[in-house]
Amino acid sequence: DSGVTQTPKHLITATGQRVTLRCSPRSGDLSVYWYQQSLDQGLQFLIQYYNGEERAKGNILERFSAQQFPDLHSELNLSSLELGDSALYFCASSAGGGRGYGYTFGSGTRLTVV
């Protein structure tokens, strides 16, 4: 157990639907990062939050949004889902703003869009 909790572990949904992925960071970590991993794109950085505020944005689609709550857990919302959104979605956390620290990853949510 890495200390980063992601739920659900698996999600199967239809095209056009909306899902919410949840992440609880390791105790004491203020930064949360979201990554998408697919066979053709590899590990893609989506977005980072630090203590409730958005810090950095990557290749996140407009159909995707995220937030970090006062208790530091984070949610990634994916809407108008397409087949190509099928992937593993990872959440990671780190101490501080992320610079110079290793990340602790959760075990991921496997999203299948049918």
Partner 1 sequence: SQQGEEDPQALSIQEGENATMNCSYKTSINNLQWYRQNSGRGLVHLILIRSNEREKHSGRLRVTLDTSKKSSSLLITASRAADTASYFCATDDGATNKLIFGTGTLLAVQP
C-alpha distances in Å from residue 54, one per residue of 30, 57, 112: 12, 8, 27
- Whether residue 74 contacts residue 91, with contact meaning beta carbons closer than 8 Å, is answered with yes
Q: By CB under 8 A, tell whether 25 contacts partner 1.
A: no
Q: Which parts of 75-94 interact with partner 1 (CB under 8 A)?
A: 88, 90, 92
Q: Is 50 in the site for partner 1 (CB under 8 A)?
A: yes
22 phi/psi in degrees, rounded to 5 = -120, 145
Q: What is the nearest approach in angstroms of partner 1 to the Cβ of residue 13?
A: 19
DSSP 25: P
Neighbours of 41 (CB within 10 A): 11
Choose, by CB under 8 A, the member of 68, 78, 106, 113 that binds partner 1.
106
Quick note: the x/- pattern for partner 1 over 29-48, rule CB under 8 A, is --x-x-x------xx-x--x
**Total binding residues toward partner 1, as defined by CB under 8 A:** 30
- Euclidean distance between CA atoms 80 and 18, whole angstroms: 6
Judged by CB, which is closer to partner 1: 79, or 105?
Answer: 105
| Minimum distance of partner 1 from residue 16's CB (angstroms) | 26
